[in-house]
Amino acid sequence: MNIREIASPSTKPKKRSISPLLFDRRDYRLIGIINDVRSRADELGYIRRQYYSYFHPHGIKEMAESRSLRIAYAMIQLLTSLEKGGVDDRLNALRALRAEMLETAEGPMPKNTARVLMQIMKEVVRAGDDERGQLELAHDFRITAQGKPRMVRRQLRRYHLLEMPEAWNQISFDDHVHDANTKGRKSSTHLIMDAWIKGIRRLRVVHYNYIEPRFAAELLEAARIMEIDIRIGIEFYTPFRGKYINLIWVPRGFPDAQAFLCFLEEPAVAALMREGRRASLYQQAHVMDLLQAFNQDHRLVLNGRYDIEMPPIDREAFLAFVGIGQKSTLHLAKFIQKEMFAAIQERAETLRAAHESADAAQRRQISTWFEEMDRLDLEGAVAEYLKPARNPGLPDRTVPREDPEVPSLLRLPPAELCARLAALQSGYRITLNLTDLDAADVLELVYDANGMISRLELFNLKDWADGHLDHIPGISRLQEALNSQNPIKLKRVILEILASIEGDESPEGPARMDKLRDILHDLGTLQVMYRARPLKARIGSDSTGRSPRFHGMGLAVIETLPPRAQRQIKRDIGSGRDRIPIHIAVQRRHTFIERRANDDRRGRRRRWLAALPLLWRIGYERKLDWWVQAEATRMARQGNVVTLGGVQRTIRNGICLQPTKVQNHSSGKPWRYVNSHLRNLFKVLLGFVPAFATFFLTQDWWLLAYLGAFIWFGITGIRNILQSVLGGGGLRRSPLLRWNTYVSWDRIADSLLFTGFSVPLLDYLTKTLLLQGMLGITVASHPVLLYTIMALVNGLYLSSHNALRGLPRPAVYGNFFRSALSIPLAIGLNAVAGQLLTTAGATAVNEILQKWAAIISKAASDTVAALIEGGADRYNNIHTRYREYRRKMAQLFDIYAQLEMLFPEDRAYELLTHKKELRRQTNMEARDLERIICVHALDLLYFWYYQPRAQSAFKQLIKKTDEEERHLLITAQFTLSRQRDISQMFIDGLLGNDFAKALSFYLSRHPDYLEAMKRYV
């Protein structure tokens, strides 16, 4: 958290005048929705509705609530529920947010698009009353939601996010983070959401001394929603040679979250948690002692040093600031910073008022004060006074003491603590935190623990930022020697360790030497400890989300990221992102999974192909992932691990004599926020000018001179419209969908922009200057060569601007080869046009065709493009609908499974078919399941009529399901015949108060839909 974040939230930025040429009506509507939701979120309660989570984002709830409204509500609920709501509200918000963002993301980069949209919506919610800032963010949100790769990548760079592979197979992790339940800033759910936004796939959240089951439940469920591999670690303090060391215990081997929660309730574990709570209270008491000492002494020193009047720290306000977390020195430091910054601001206002009437000397003093306050390292200034050396009158609870009030858990030696933890759960990992430890300490600890320490936190970003890295190389060499199982290498390392502490004159020195010599003589035992299970490394950020001086959470192995991200890393190094000196060995792994054959004939055909060289992959789906050699992780001068979070290099507090104006979110580039209609019009005009100029200046026939550009643009526009119609359903589309429902006018404007510049390239430079003027190639002399060269040039141009726009490689290559496919069509069109002109009695047919050659080539290319890209859009729509149907079918089968368990002697679908029988023997749980089936059926009804290519996808799904699955799917949809019950569900608030449109749609369309379903029974 930087100084600007500490500023009082009551300070409202001034609204700025906004040009009518900027932003769209939809931008204003979006921020209106967000502000309305923020002001009355508790009244709306979307995610609290009983069956809300079962609706699909593309389902019938689109008729009652806009997508923007649902996203805004979920994000606001997630960000503010730490103060207003509870665990269920946060988890429901995260579940809704993931569904709205990820399952509806468009374009070739759906996961990266969803990541950016989540980040932008966070910024919109936090923008407060800054109307201009909100509008800019809302505009970015809408534009990015289109899924255009170039825009998505631009927003990734803006928010310091690295592009992640869409296969989501990157090696990205953080083995040490904190949430608000300890000393972090974010709730567990918020932490998981931010981890997913950063691209983290594996996370270990560390708690101190104990964990409450409710916190564990929230973490595990949030991670399950976002599909993050979560580990919960409990960090214990144990005395070792006059200091406390940290051991992180991670119990493992649980099939699900419920099993882990049951484990926490076991008597031995519950007893450990009670002892851990007492240890934590003992440590937290030190924080309150520091608060009192700060009020009495240090506050006055800071006031005098910086010429401010900071009042005493209020105890109750501090406890409210800590919230549900465990009080820590970090909490106290951040709260003091907040109070100190408020005092600095108050003093700044006084000095600004006095500046005008002051003399020259006083003005220089005031200016100097402002400069000092602007660059003041507030975090370091406060932290200095909270160190034990600054508070000698307080008992130092950060070091072991012989005192009866010290809890028993804090007096337990490392070996005994490890033994106790190992006895609680057979599957576990114990990580040794290496802060303030050297290689000799580590060697002694792993030997005493008898191999129960299975991980070393080899690298901690917080320690790295503080410059505490000198001890790591020696520990890394010891780890490598242990894992190598080479006694000679291990002996050499131990001898080096002995030599390094030989001159130790501390009271512990002789005992350490004797202990290490004993280990050296018991080398075989030490090797056996790690023969079956190597000593692996862990790397964490120790992030709390509170300090700009330390990196945020997240690390990634560079080789596992896309090439663009790797290039971005090279540009970012030194500007907030760092490459840490750790090397993790990874290997690319390809897995081939046999595709399921729908019938025996197709299965035999695949087996025949598999027997042929180079063709065996046809029947398999390839999956790419990475295999990590964790035991080979080591220190390296040129590491391959990069930080995902940034760090603030310079500190500027914004304390200026003349307050600066609020900077625009756009960073001085207002053209990015021009009204979409104006921008599209500008694109069309920008493309039309070179097209019209080329025809007007080069053609002597009035038809082409004045109308050539319009004909050229007409071909492009019709091609885009035809492509959208074919992709969205064609002539067999739903009767409720108009032909232009899925026509993208933004895409048409982009096409017209680039097609305009193709006119001088194809008609003048290629056809006239190069082919006709220099090579003598015309329609009369070499028609095939003419159209071939023009098609190739057009293909190169299309591929070039597609690459410039950041489109995927298949689209870039496809647009090149589409031009090649258009060559025979162009020759055919040329022949047909020549025959028609000859039949009509025209003279100089070849001259006419030569003038129209570029347009003929363009028409052929766009015709092929309409068919190919329309087919691609059709495939994408069918694939999307198929995925949505599969998800709905899986959810229906889960409901059927629950019904089968409720009625072991009956078949679930027979109970649904005979409604009276179900009512007679059902219970409340079964009735809820029945209503959930009705919710899924309503979504399927909406798919059928309103989602493009839904009917085609449904037909494919039916063909690929067996008879029983098909029967269950169809039976579920016949619950729509229960008109009275479903109507009552709408009236009771199934979709809120605005349900009239959805209810009308259901009542009018479900009879025809059920008739259509009977064909598949």
Same-domain check for residues 218 and 92:
no
Q: Provide mean pLDDT across the span 463-468.
A: 80
Q: Provide mean pLDDT across the span 587-610.
A: 69
The CA-based dihedral angle spanning residues 999, 1005, 1007, 1010, taken in that order and rounded to the nearest 10 degrees: -110
What is the domain range of residue 92? 1-159
Q: How many domains does the chain have?
A: 6
Domain assignment of residue 449, yes or no: yes
Q: Provide mean pLDDT across the span 698-724.
A: 88
Task: Report the candidate in 50, 114, 38 with the shortest Cα–Cα distance to residue 77.
Answer: 38
pLDDT bucket at 923, cuts 50 / 70 / 90:
low
pLDDT at 466: 77
Q: Which helix (H) or strand (E) holds 229?
A: strand 229-240
pLDDT at 840: 86
Sheet with strand 579-580: strands edge to edge: 536-540, 455-460, 428-433, 243-251, 229-240, 202-208, 172-177, 555-557, 641-643, 579-580
Helix, strand and coil percent figures for the chain, each rounded to 5: 65, 10, 30
Same-domain check for residues 202 and 231:
yes
Domain assignment of residue 815, yes or no: yes
**880 pLDDT above the threshold of 70:** yes
Alpha-carbon distance of 539 to 582, in angstroms, equals 9
Q: Provide mean pLDDT across the span 103-118.
A: 87
Q: Which helix (H) or strand (E) holds 1002?
A: helix 996-1013
pLDDT at 910: 61
Q: Which helix (H) or strand (E) holds 250?
A: strand 243-251
Q: What is the mean pLDDT of the chain?
A: 84
Domain assignment of residue 960, yes or no: yes
Domain assignment of residue 107, yes or no: yes
Cα–Cα separations (whole angstroms), residue 428 to 167, 367, 421, 453, 660? 30, 59, 8, 10, 55
Same-domain check for residues 839 and 950:
no
Which is more confidently placed, 679 or 164? 164
pLDDT bucket at 675, cuts 50 / 70 / 90:
confident
Alpha-carbon distance of 280 to 237, in angstroms, equals 10
For 557, phi then psi, to 5°, come to: -85, 125
**172 pLDDT above the threshold of 90:** yes
Model confidence pLDDT, tens digit, residues 961-1010: 888 888 888 888 988 988 998 999 888 888 877 888 899 999 999 999 99
Domain boundary (103, 131, 159) is at 159
Same-domain check for residues 640 and 679:
no
**939 pLDDT above the threshold of 50:** yes
Domain assignment of residue 526, yes or no: no
- Token pair for residue 537? 């490394």
Model confidence pLDDT, tens digit, residues 853-876: 989 988 998 888 888 888 888 888
Report the DSSP pairing between strands 579-580 and 641-643.
antiparallel
Task: Report the candidate in 752, 687, 750, 763 with the shortest Cα–Cα distance to residue 716.
Answer: 752
Decide: 115 and 197 in contact? Cβ < 8 Å. yes
Domain assignment of residue 192, yes or no: yes
**877 pLDDT above the threshold of 90:** no
Alpha-carbon distance of 918 to 644, in angstroms, equals 54
CATH of the domain at 483: 3.20.20.140
pLDDT at 660: 57
Least confident of 256-265, 366-375, 383-392, 545-554: 545-554
pLDDT bucket at 599, cuts 50 / 70 / 90:
low
Q: Which helix (H) or strand (E) holds 821?
A: helix 809-839
81 φψ region: left (φ > 0), alpha (ψ -120 to 50), beta (else): alpha
Q: Provide mean pLDDT across the span 110-127.
A: 89
**17 pLDDT above the threshold of 70:** no
Same-domain check for residues 204 and 103:
no
Q: Longest Cα pair distance anywhere in the chain, in angstroms?
A: 115
Positive or negative torsion for Cα 23, 123, 667, 158: negative
Task: Report the candidate in 292, 388, 380, 287 with the shortest Cα–Cα distance to residue 331.
Answer: 287
pLDDT at 909: 59
Positive or negative torsion for Cα 933, 936, 942, 945: negative
Task: Report the candidate in 952, 955, 948, 983 with the shortest Cα–Cα distance to residue 969.
Answer: 955
Decide: 341 and 653 in contact? Cβ < 8 Å. yes
**2 pLDDT above the threshold of 50:** no
Same-domain check for residues 613 and 570:
no
Domain boundary (857, 875, 893) is at 875
pLDDT bucket at 10, cuts 50 / 70 / 90:
very low
Which is more confidently placed, 12 or 711? 711
Q: Provide mean pLDDT across the span 266-295.
A: 93
- Token pair for residue 388? 């034990």
Same-domain check for residues 418 and 353:
no
pLDDT bucket at 668, cuts 50 / 70 / 90:
low
Which is more confidently placed, 539 or 899? 539
Same-domain check for residues 918 and 1007:
yes
pTM: 0.87
Chain centre to alpha carbon of residue 795: 35
* Alpha helices, DSSP H, located in 356-448: 360-374, 378-384, 414-424, 439-448
Beta carbons within 8 Å of 208's beta carbon, 6+ residues apart: 182, 234, 235, 276, 280, 283, 326
**175 pLDDT above the threshold of 90:** yes
Same-domain check for residues 229 and 123:
no
Domain assignment of residue 235, yes or no: yes
Same-domain check for residues 705 and 808:
yes
pLDDT at 16: 47
* Helices and strands counted in the chain (H then E): 40, 12
Cα–Cα separations (whole angstroms), residue 841 to 154, 544, 760, 837? 57, 84, 31, 6
Same-domain check for residues 611 and 640:
no
Domain assignment of residue 731, yes or no: yes
- Token pair for residue 47? 């995610």
Domain boundary (159, 187, 208) is at 159
Model confidence pLDDT, tens digit, residues 32-59: 877 777 776 555 555 556 677 788 888 8
pLDDT bucket at 4, cuts 50 / 70 / 90:
very low
Q: Provide mean pLDDT across the span 630-636.
A: 83
Same-domain check for residues 49 and 142:
yes
Task: Report the candidate in 247, 238, 189, 200 with the shortest Cα–Cα distance to residue 47.
Answer: 189
